[in-house]
Structures are given as structure tokens and as C-alpha cells.
Structure 1
């Protein structure tokens, strides 16, 4: 898929089918995060993947939208050293979200509502914090990115117009 088409057509999805994700798909999503750039190439993140139902449930209770975490075929918490590297974590997250979309997998970033509960759910150390929790799954409602041109997806996006978003200064 064309990179701009992937960016323009991707939407956050919170409803997933119960179908499991293949190991190959999971590996590609995680590797896309690993390949992200980072300040001074420090790669400060750890991708924590809860695999037990109890951990997923505990983590779901710590985010703002628990249902899509509960229903996801894959949940990934991006964890960094306390107080550092949020931008780098965002770069890794975006790579994973786009790689998933390329595989036909829907996804949604989930904000952490209760940091202490999330740390317990993920068995984190005192020097670690979750920046974002990503949920992935087969979309409940199929969407074909190539059914429209990137410009059409862009025009349909619920976003401020570009001329209200960009300010040029001389």
C-alpha cells in the first residue's frame, strides 16, 4: 500500500472480530515499532505484551476505553523510563499502527487513565511507565483503503482543514 494512502485511510477502530492475529502479523507489527527512529538512536522503549486474560483485564481497567482492549487480538503497552522519551514512544506507536493497517488490522491508541494500575498490570519496575496502550484486531467493519484515492480519504477525514493547521512565518 502507498504510504500516504495508508496514512489517509487509517482510522482508529475500537471494535474487533474475535479472530486471532497470526504470529507473522504480530511480529511485523512489533518489528515496525522496533524499527522506529529515536533520539540519538537510544531506542528507549520496551513493548510489553500482556498474554494472560487476567493481565489484559487488569490493563483494560487502567485505560480510558477498556472495551477495545478487552476485545483486541493483540495489546501492546509502550513503556519508557519514567519522565522520558514520550515523543520516541509516539513514533514507535505510529509505526505499529500503520504496519497493522497495511496488514488489514485495525487498531486504536488507548490513553492510560490510572498509571499505577497499569504499572501493576504490566509488572513494571519503579523506573518504568506506560506511555500508551495500543489495541489491535481484525476490524468488525471491513474497510478497503484502495476503494478511494488518498485525496478522497483526506477530504473525508474529521480533521481541521490544512489551511487552519499550518501557519507560515517569514
Structure 2
């Protein structure tokens, strides 16, 4: 263990909490287990709930404040509602939320087109910086995306021809 600690001593602040005598809460905090009593403080005023709020099944109430800028809507909203049926410790909660984020990106692009705005995906995804600092990864991403798109198009064409 000592060898491992010596290996990282060049990092500023490394091991600062290793010495129990250097506990930043001692001697100011006197441990009385008072915090185990639950809500012992006055709860802040509740933010009004004027939009749909998705809440964890593990929480009996909503937190005092929450985001309202993007309420769940469309297909991504349906996926999010599905995800919140499951516990936060479950893949059934987190994986659908990841999918919903990706679906929401596509919904946003389609919404831009619907409003007559052509999105500059190259700039919005930071590809200029990638081109400048990480060309190899950018080219790899573009090639993989093109291959996947081609495979999907070919798959759908083959299905269409097979059904005809």
C-alpha cells in the first residue's frame, strides 16, 4: 500500500484525507446522530407544479425545485415515462433514458426542419474543434455513421423488395 501511495505523491493534494487526524470536520462536528431523525428542518416553499414532472418511484414527493424548460413530449417523452416506472437502480430506468436523449436529438432536428430552419449539425456537434484537434476520431465517427446509415438503407430496400 505504501508503494502505491508513493507512486502518486507528485499529484497535488494526493492522500490529503488519508490521515484520520486530518478530518476536516473534526473537532467542529460533534457526532450525535441527530441527522438520523429525518426532516428536522423547515422545508423550502414548493415550486409550483404547472407542467408534467417525472419523478422517481423511490421519492414520496418532488424535490423543492426542478427543471421546467423541457417537459416530456413526443416519442422521447413516452420513453421517459416508461423509464420512470422502474427503480433508479435498474437498467430499465437508465437505459431508456439514454435512448430518450438520443431520440430527443432527432426530434429536435425534425422540429428545426418543420420550422424551416436547417440545423448546422457540423457546428452544433463541435466538429470544427474535432477536425482541428482530433481528426482521426472524427473521420472514424463519420465513416462508422456512413456505414451504419448505408446498412440501414440497404436493409430497408431489401425488405421492401422482398415484400413486393
Compare CA radii of gyration and give the structure with the larger one. Answer: 2
TM over 0.5: no
Say which structure is richer in strand.
1
Q: TM-score, normalised by structure 2?
A: 0.24
